[in-house]
Amino acid sequence: MSSGEIRAADTSQRTRGAQTFLEDIFRPLHRAEQRRWARTYLRGLLHTTGRKTPRRMAQADALPAAAAQGLHQFINASPWDWEPVRRRLALRVAASTTPYAWTVAELTIPKRGEHSVGVHRRLDPVTGLAVNCQRAIGLFLAAGTHCFPVDWSLVLDEAWGRDQQRRLRARVPEAETARPVGGHVLDLAAGVVAQPRLPDVPWVLDLTRCDDATGVLAGLARQRLDIVCEVDPGQVVFSGDRFPTVITVSELMEGRYARQQQAIMRQAADGATVAIPIHTYASTVRLPRRSTGRDDGSVGYRILQHPATDGRRSARYWISSLTDRSVEAVMAPVRSRAAVRTAVAALQERFGVLDFEGRSFPGWHHHMTMASAAYAFRHLPDRSALTPLAPAPAAPAEAAS
């Protein structure tokens, strides 16, 4: 076979892989016209430089002037359900990679006006400044060197929770309420649990700034999910069996004979191998109940500490349900936290998550779904070798319709 024939074969294989991806992800869109606009919108997100608006995407793809309106309609007015598309996206990522963790990340989307769905003023925890913004919580599946966005939740403040006129204008569903960020995290976790074909891997969360870390931990425990969660030094746990003691994780690890000193090996930026000290509590602890704050009598959890070694950084603490694994195995999924920060930056800079111009709740979710699909399309390994996903089993309501 000549080099030209080899290149042609490679191109053909890549084209088939791309077609497989698009057919898999957009299969839930029932109308051929919707699937066509979905492919066009995804192509625009991938190839348009600068802001990813319908007008700019149509221009970048050399489409007729009317195409900008078609792209706008597809996102803001077309009544397609984003949830089945996201389920297919999560299944595609899981089938094409080796996932090792679920994690979440918060995304602040600056806005100028006050009419976009969910927009409100809040203090930016990083800068300490008041910003006018939307606040989103993304669910990511960590695999390899990437974290793939597969679901999103929009945080509504109390004003959006009670202002019926604003909700009607933005087409916010009745079931969508104002609730703490922890409630959004638990809703995302419940969505994963409801899909048995999705991978059963640990949930790696940073709860150090969460107002209801105890509630999130208790909610994940009720769903029987494995966790490796970083917590604030003041996180309360119960230690001891016959006479349980209420104690914070930092106080618990102050006892010299209560902790075991270990180390995990990591590669530094210069390629050198370094030993990172990790202290573990010699026994296990239990979590408080969410409703009463009392000992829930659950199975034990492990406490791990990365001590302050240079006098400048504070000690860090994790709670994990992985009590039967080595310290190395428990801490390995924590690398997803760095990966998810990289993914959020890429979504902002290259995939248009900040560029939604509409005002409605469905439109925002449509746009975020397409941005997530574009990220997966770009970063899935060996896309040319993709094989079609098995059809999803029909839900009872769908089977009867």
Per-residue pLDDT 10s for the chain (401 aa) are 454 433 433 444 456 768 889 999 999 999 999 999 999 999 999 999 999 999 999 998 889 989 999 999 999 999 999 999 999 999 999 999 999 999 999 999 999 888 899 999 988 777 788 899 999 999 999 999 999 999 999 999 999 999 999 999 999 999 999 999 999 999 999 999 999 999 999 999 999 999 899 999 999 999 999 999 999 999 999 988 777 889 999 999 987 667 788 888 877 777 778 888 999 998 999 998 765 455 555 678 999 999 987 666 789 999 999 999 999 999 999 999 999 999 999 999 999 999 998 999 999 999 999 999 999 999 998 665 566 777 655 544 433 32
Question: What is the model's pLDDT at position 99?
Answer: 97
CB count within 10 Å of CB 144 equals 14
Q: Is residue 135 part of a domain?
A: no
In a domain, 2, yes or no: no
Is residue 273 included in any domain, yes or no? Answer: yes
Say if 303 falls within a structural domain: yes
Given this model, what pLDDT does residue 386 score? 66
Does 255 fall in a domain? yes
pLDDT at 366: 98
Total structural domains within the chain: 1
Taking the CA atoms of the chain, what radius of gyration do you get in angstroms?
23
Query: b vs e for 47-62, b when ≥16 Cβ sit within 10 Å of the residue's Cβ?
Result: ebeeebbbbbbbebee
Domain assignment present for 309: yes
- What are the tokens at 122? 């809040």
Q: Count Cβ neighbours within 10 Å for each residue of 263-290 and write b for 16 or more, e otherwise.
A: ebeeeeeeeeeeeeebbbbeeebbbbbb
The neighbouring-strand residues paired with 266 are 274
**Per-residue pLDDT at 399:** 37
Whether the CB-CB separation of 278 and 304 falls below 8 Å is answered with yes
Domain enclosing residue 287, as ranges: 203-321
The verdict on residue 296 lying in a domain is yes
Type of residue found at 44: G
Contact (CB, 8 A) for 280 and 328: no
Whether 166 contacts 145, CB under 8 Å: no
Q: Does any domain span residue 345? A: no
Q: Determine how β-strand 146-155 pairs with β-strand 130-143.
A: antiparallel
Tell me the three-class secondary structure of 184-212, residue by residue. Answer: HHHHHHHHHHCCCCCCCCCEEEECCCCCC
What pLDDT sits at residue 319? 97
